[in-house]
Amino acid sequence: MKTIFSVLFYLKRPKNYQTGPIPVYMRITVNGKRSELTTGRECEPSQWVSNAGRMKGTKETVKTFNNYLDTLRAQVDDAHSAMIKADDEITAESLKNRFLGKDEDTKMLIEIFEDHNKRYEKLIVNGGGSKGTLSRYRISLAHTQRFLKWRYHVKDISVRKIDHQFVMDYDYWLRSERNCGNNSAVKYIRNFKKIILICLDNGWIDRNPFMKYKGKTKRVHRVCLEQSDIDRLMFKEFASSRLEQVRDIFLFSCFTGLAYADVKKLHRDHITNRYDGEIWIVTNRQKTDVPTRVPLLPQAVDLMRKYEYHPKCSNTGLIFPVPSNQKVNEYLKEIAEKCGIKAELTFHIARHTFATTVTLANDVPIESVSVMLGHSSIKTTQEYAKVLNVKLSRDMQALKLKLRR
């Protein structure tokens, strides 16, 4: 049976609309029956030509906009032709579904992403993944869902619709709407890329939309405290017990390199006397599940023993009564102000301080620092290994003495 179909682009005013751009919709009509869907684009009413279903103007942005609509129209034509060849029943709804790729073999992006995360979660149970990585995948999934709603006004989309423009729009959305920095945006896109590679490997898509994507992370200037800052913290007396407690936990991290999550979960079972007669921390990092082994400095031992009989510690076996991360960072700002420390203190600065000021600046080999930080690669440790001026001066003084001989 011959079908008569047409495609129309029009503006669909939202409820309670007042001013601003309006979503552009596409209406597919087959034998008098209609089906509509969003194009993912918006246009100011004053710029829209209703009879032509186009944006008026000659600017490059207008040409790009209208070319996009032409592409959608051509894709509907292709879907219609394919249905005729396959002798499929053609209705407005079936043609729309064919255009969207919603046939029986269609794979949907969010479904695949959710399935990937569920599988990864099971790997953690069996010791094959890390909670930190799972957390990043979950955040990336949430970002992808928000992006689909923002750009295409849909909850899910066929993986066949993922192209280079989709990736670039997603990157733009992360940087603009979500206000992500360059490195955060690139990392979220990389998480998303893994899902696309799964689609490629399974033959669900036949082209790689990341072929021309050039997102690169930039080297970050990592802040750390100098020895004078550590001394101010150590000898400062606080009237508030909550500030003293957070100061002590922060200093413990400065002397051990443990991240917030690792200090929070640190238990008596993680403290042991080793063959050398010294007290060690032996545990796995919360973020990566990589083993961490740290021989404790006397300052760290003193801080640990200070809370041995704290009610929360004696009842739970935890080493420190650690407040929430939000509270800790809030108190650290107050502590920095009271101690005259210019750096904006966050808990992670303690880890940087251990890597740089406490160890590397005192000639501890980077290989040893890498083990104590629980890094799986020494390249990660090198990101922390900022050489301090005091060490440069000391090294050059040593060189001068050698050259005088």
- The CATH number of whichever domain residue 194 belongs to comes to 1.10.150
* pLDDT-wise least confident of 22-26, 139-143, 397-401: 397-401
Most confident of 124-128, 169-173, 181-185, 202-206: 169-173
Domain final residue pick, 100, 121, 139: 100
**Section 97-116 average pLDDT:** 83
Question: Is the model more confident about 114 or about 287?
Answer: 114
Q: CATH number, domain at 391?
A: 1.10.443.10
Alpha helices of 152-213 — where are they, by DSSP H? 164-176, 182-201
Q: Does the residue 212 lie in any domain?
A: no
Sort strands 48-49 and 279-284 into parallel, antiparallel or unpaired: unpaired
Does residue 38 lie within any of the structural domains?
Answer: yes
Q: Do 247 and 381 fall into the same domain?
A: yes
Q: Is residue 238 located within the same domain as residue 384?
A: yes
Beta-strand (E) ranges in 104-227? none
Of 375 and 35, the one with more pLDDT: 35
Domain match, 332 and 374 both: yes
The DSSP letter of residue 40 is: E
Instruction: Indicate whether 167 pLDDT > 80.
Output: yes
What is the model's pLDDT at position 2? 67
pLDDT range class, residue 278, cuts 50, 70, 90 = confident
Q: Which residue among 100, 122, 157 closes a domain? A: 100
Range of the domain at 257: 227-397
In this structure, the number of other CB atoms found within 10 A of the CB of residue 176 comes to 10
Out of 65, 100, 135, a domain closes at: 100
pLDDT tens track for 39-78: 999 999 999 999 999 999 999 999 999 999 999 999 999 8
pTM flag (> 0.85) = no
The pLDDT, as a whole number, for residue 317 is 92
Is 252 found in the same domain as 195? no
Q: How confident is the model at residue 385 (pLDDT cuts 50, 70, 90)?
A: low
Lowest mean pLDDT among 143-152, 240-249, 373-382: 373-382
Residues 154 and 65 in one domain: no
Q: CB–CB of 27/8 below 8 Å?
A: yes
For residue 69, being part of any structural domain is answered with: yes
Q: Is the pLDDT of residue 233 over 90?
A: yes
pLDDT at 41: 93
Co-location of 86 and 116 in the same domain: no
Q: How does DSSP classify residue 154?
A: -
- Distance, CA of 295 to CA of 272 (rounded, Å): 10
Instruction: Identify whether the C-beta of residue 242 lies closer than 8 Å to the C-beta of residue 331.
Output: yes
**H helices present in 202-316, as ranges:** 227-235, 241-256, 260-265, 298-306, 311-316
- 138 and 86 share a domain? no
pLDDT tens by residue, 211-220: 988 888 776 6
- Residue 403 resides in a domain: no
Nearest residue to 207 via CA among 166, 239, 160, 249: 160
With beta carbons less than 8 A apart as the criterion, state whether 24 and 41 touch.
yes
**Same structural domain for residues 321 and 383?**
yes
Write the pLDDT tens digit of every residue in 301-342: 999 999 999 999 989 999 999 999 889 999 999 999 999 998
Same domain, yes or no: 370 and 238 = yes
Q: Is residue 213 included in any domain, yes or no?
A: no
Neighbouring C-beta atoms of residue 100, cutoff 10 Å: 17
Same domain, 144 and 192: yes
Average pLDDT of every residue of the chain: 88
In-domain check, residue 367: yes
Read off φ and ψ for residue 377, nearest 5 degrees. Answer: -140, 140
Residue 309 lies in a domain: yes
Residues 113 and 235 in one domain: no
At 290 the pLDDT is: 74
- Closest CA relative to residue 9, chosen from 40, 46, 31: 40
Q: Residue 336 domain-assigned?
A: yes
> Are residues 357 and 262 part of one domain?
yes
pLDDT band at 365 (very low <50, low <70, confident <90, very high): confident
Instruction: Indicate the number of domains in the chain.
Output: 3
Interval 262-274 mean pLDDT = 90
